[in-house]
Amino acid sequence: MSPFDTNEDKGATGAAKFVTSTLGNTVGGLGKTVGGVVGAGGRGLGQTITSATGSAGKPVGEAIESLGNGVESGAKNVSQGVEDAGKWK
């Protein structure tokens, strides 16, 4: 037995922690991936609009970039919360 093992990590509680940790890490990782893809897509689309339309489309392009950044940031924060919950933090 490791000195770091506790009775809290044995039996049903230990099994529950394993399941929630695995599930939390999986869902959290997927959320971060999806958020990153949406964020990158938003930035790319926004930059394309700005480049193609010049100053006339710049406000729209920047708004789309900001939206993508916001979605990415929000997904990252929520996903971290899911991972932390899975670790019983």
Q: What does residue 88 show for φ and ψ, rounded to 5 degrees?
A: 60, 40
pLDDT value, residue 7 = 58
Tell me the pLDDT tens digit for each residue of 59-70.
999 999 999 999
The one-letter amino acid at 32: K
What's this model's pTM, rounded to 2 decimal places?
Answer: 0.74
- Percent of the chain whose predicted confidence (pLDDT) is above 70: 89
Tell me the pLDDT tens digit for each residue of 20-61.
888 888 999 999 999 999 999 999 999 999 999 999 999 999
Say whether pLDDT at 1 is over 60.
no
Look up tokens 């971060």; give the residue: 32
Q: What angle do CA 78, 79, 85 make, to 5 degrees?
A: 90
Contact 49, 64 (CB under 8 A): yes
Give the DSSP per-residue string, 63-81: HHHHHHHHHHHHHHHHHHH
Tell me the average pLDDT of the chain: 87
